[in-house]
Chain A
Amino acid sequence: MSKFPAVVFAMLMGSVVTTVAHAAPQTIDMVIKDHKFNPAEITIPANTPVVLQVKNADHAVEEFDSHDLRREKIIAPGMTAKIKLDGLAPGVYSFMGEFHSSTAQGKVHVK
C-alpha cells in the first residue's frame, strides 16, 4: 500500500497550488449560428480575466476548441457554455468550432 501515498501526493500537488481569487470578470456573449461564431473576433485587455458565454443556436453539437487559449468545451444545441479565460499576454489567439472548422473560426485579440 506504500505506493499509494506517493502517487496521491503528486496528484494533489496541483490542487494545493494557489487558487485564483478575483473580482467578477467581464462577460462577453457569443453565439454560434450556421456554424459560425458571432462575433467571430473580439478584443479584450491584456492580463485581465474574462468569461466567454458561448450559446450554440445551431441544431448540431459544437466543440469550442482553442489550443492557443487552452480550452476545449463541448456545447450541446441550445446550451450556453461558460469559458473562462485567465489574464492573457498581448497577442492574437485563434479558436474554432472543431466539428465545423471550415466555417467556425474566430480570434481573440488581446491588447
Chain B
Amino acid sequence: MTAALIIVFREVLEAALIVGIVLAAVNGVRGAKAWIAAGIAGGVAGATMVAYFAGAIAGALAGYGQEIFNASILLVAVLMLGWHNAWMSVHGREMAVEMRDAGNAVRDGKKSLSALAIVVGVAVLREGSEIVLFLYGLATADGGLSSTLLGGAIGLGAGVIVGAGLYLGLLRIPTRYLFSVTSIMITLLAAGMAAQAMNFLSAADIVNLGPVLWDSSWLLSQESLAGKTLHTLVGYMDRPTLLQIVVYIGTVLAITLASKTTRRLANRRPARGQNQASAAE
C-alpha cells in the first residue's frame, strides 16, 4: 500500500502543481475553470490511451519513441505557456480585475484558455499514463489489489491537496499582484519544462547535453520532496548541464520578449484608433 501511495503521490504532485499555477493564472477569467476541467479530463483519457499503446510508442522511432514523445509534449506545453503569457500580458489585467467586455478579449481569451487546457492535459497525460501502467501491473499480479487501490487513492488525494494548497495560497496574493506573480511562475515553469525536454532528447540521442555545470545535490537533492517540487515549479536541477542552462535562460528570455512585444503592439493599436477618430472630427 505504501509503495502505491508514494508512487501515485509523486506522479500526481507534478500535475497538481501545474494545475494549481494555471488555475491561479486564469483566476477571474470567465469560463476558465470549465476549460481547465476539460484539460484534466482529456489528460486522463489520453493517459489511458498512452498506457494502452505504451508498447507501440516505446518500439517506435528506433526504440526512442517514448523519449521523443515525452520531449514533444513537454515542448508543446512550453509553447502553449509562452503563448498564454504573451496574450495575458495584454489582456490579463483587464480580464482578471474587472473590465470583462464581451469583445475581442473574450474571444481571444478562449484561445488562450484552450492553450492552458492543453498544458494541463499533457501534464495529466504524462504523469497519469505512468499511474495507469503501475496500477495495471499490480492488478494483473496476484493479491493486494484493494490495498494498492487504497494506497493509490490516498496518494491521489494527497497530491491534489498540495496542488489545491498552492492554488489557494496564490489566491491570497492581492489581485493587482497576482497577475505578475503567475506570469513569472508560468515563465519559470515553461523554462524548466524546456530544460527537461532536453534530457529526453539526449536520451533519444538527438542532442548532446554538454558538460554538467554544477552539483548541488548535497544541498538539495532533486529526488527529495522539496527538490522535486522545486523542479516542477521553477525547473530546479541539482546537476544541470550546459545545454539545459542555455535552453532554460533562452526560454525565459524568449517568453519575456514575446510578452513585451505583444504588449507594445497592442498599445500602438488603440493609439492609432484615437488618431483616426480625432482626424474624423
Give B residues with C-beta under 8 Å from A.
3, 7, 54-55, 58-59, 63-64, 66-67, 75, 78-79, 82-83, 86, 130, 133-134, 136-138, 140-141, 194, 197-199, 201-203, 205-210, 212, 222-223, 243, 246-247, 250-251, 253-255, 257-259, 261-262, 265
Contacts and interface: CB of A to CB of B under 8 A. Distances in A.
Interface in A1-42: 2-4, 6-11, 13-15, 17-20
Nearest to B250: A10
A111 interface: no
Contacts, number: 124
B141 A82 contact: no
Interface string A52-80: 00000001111100010011011110010
A11 B194 contact: yes
A15 B207 contact: yes
A10 B83 contact: no
Interface centre among B133, B206, B210 (most CB of A within 10 A): B133
Contact of A3 (B55, B136, B262): B262
Interface centre among B66, B86, B207, B253 (most CB of A within 10 A): B207
A84 B206 CA distance: 11
Nearest to B255: A7
A61 B257 contact: no
Given A3-B261, A20-B208, A74 B246 contact: no
B79 A8 contact: yes
A9 B251 CA distance: 9
Contacts of B82: 3, 7
